[in-house]
Amino acid sequence: MEHYDLAIGWIWEYDADFVLALEREAQRRQLTSYRVHEDNVEDVLDLHRRRKLEFGLYLDRAFDEDERFERLGKAILRRGGAVVNSYEHTVEAIDKATMHLEFIEAGLHVPFSIIVSPYSHRKETGLTPLDLAHLGSPFIIKPANTTGGGIGVVTGAETLHDVIETRKELAEDKYLLQEKIQPRIIEGRRCWFRCFFVFDKVFLAWWDDQTHVYNVVTPTEEHAYKLRPLRSIMRTIARVSGLQFFSSEIALRQATPYEPSRFIVVDYVNDMCDMRSASEAHDGIPNPLRNRIVERLALAAEKSKNERM
C-alpha cells in the first residue's frame, strides 16, 4: 500500500500553479503529495477501494464540477483520513439565504436583504414596489447557491421586472435581493476587503470591488484604520459555517445620518477560493499572501500526519 500525506483534487486549468506551489511546500516539510485530476480519478478511486492507496489530508477543489472527487473524499473520511471543509458543512455554507439568517443570529452585520423562493416553486414573487423601496436603488440580485465569478448576479437592478426576469435564469435557486453597500473611502481607498480563513489563521487583504485588485493589509494599516474587527468577524464566520478554508468579502460601510460606519459582511462564504497569484493575473492574490496561505495548508497536512503517528 502507498500512503500520501496530502492529496489535491483539481480540474481547473488555472489551479496548476497553486497546486505546484502547495506540492513544493509539502515537500519542504518532508510530506508526500498526490495529484487527483480528471484523467486519473477513476483509477485513484479503484486503487483506494482496493487499499492500494491511502491519503491523509484531501484538498478537494473539484467536487462542485465532478461528483467522483466527492466520492473519493467520502471514502478517505471513512478510512480515517481528513478532508479540508466537510461536504455537509459546505452545502450549508454556500447557501447565501441560510448563511444570511445564521449570520444575523450570530450578531454579524449583513446587507438588508429579501429572500425570494425559486421561480420553479413559485412564479410570483409576492413583492410590491414598496417592498423594493427598502432596498434602495439600484439594488443587487444574487442567487443563493450558484457561486463563483459573479454568475447570475445583477448589480444594478432597479425594478420588480428585473427581479422577475432574473429569477428565470436559475429557476431552481433561491435569490437574495440586497441593498447596495457604499464603503468608506480612506485616503482614496475603498474600504472593501477580502479576508481568508485558513485553519484558524486569518489573512486580510484590501480588495477593490470595482477593479477586483488585491493589496495586502499591512500591520500598520490594520492598527491605523482600526481594522482589527475583521479578524473576529472571520472567526465568527468560521464557527458558524464549520469550514476550515474559505474567504469572505467584508466592507466598512460609509456612515449615514441614520447609521454609524460599521463592518458589513457582503459576500458570505466562498469555499472555493480563486488561488491564482498576482504573477498569473492582474486580479490575483498578492504573491506573499498566496504563499502564506499555501504554507498554512501544508502545515495542516503536517499536523494531520503527526496526529496519525
Q: Which residues pair with 80 in a beta bridge?
A: none
pLDDT digits (tens, 9 = 90+) for 250-298: 999 998 888 889 999 999 999 999 999 999 999 999 999 999 999 999 9
Segments making up each domain of the chain, as ranges: 2-84, 86-110+181-270, 112-179
Chain CA centroid to CA 249, Å: 9
Strand 185-186 relative to strand 189-190, pairing: antiparallel
CATH topology assigned to domain 2-84: Rossmann fold (3.40.50)
pLDDT digits (tens, 9 = 90+) for 94-149: 999 999 999 999 999 999 999 988 988 888 888 888 888 889 989 999 988 866 55
Kindly indicate whether the domain formed by 112-179 is annotated with CATH number 3.30.1490.20: yes
CATH topology assigned to domain 86-110+181-270: D-amino Acid Aminotransferase; Chain A, domain 1 (3.30.470)
Q: Please, which residues have CB within 8 angstroms of residue 258's CB and are 6 or more apart in sequence?
A: none
Shortest CA distance to 306 belongs to which of 85, 86, 57?
57
b (16+ CB within 10 A) / e for 89-119: bbebbbbbbbbbebbeeeebebbebbebbbb
**Backbone phi and psi for residue 236, each to the nearest 5 degrees, phi listed first:** -65, -45
CA atoms within 13 A on the CB side of 162: 18
| Signed CA dihedral, 26, 27, 29, 30: sign only | positive
pTM: 0.92
pLDDT digits (tens, 9 = 90+) for 32-84: 999 999 999 999 999 999 999 999 999 999 999 999 999 999 999 999 999 99
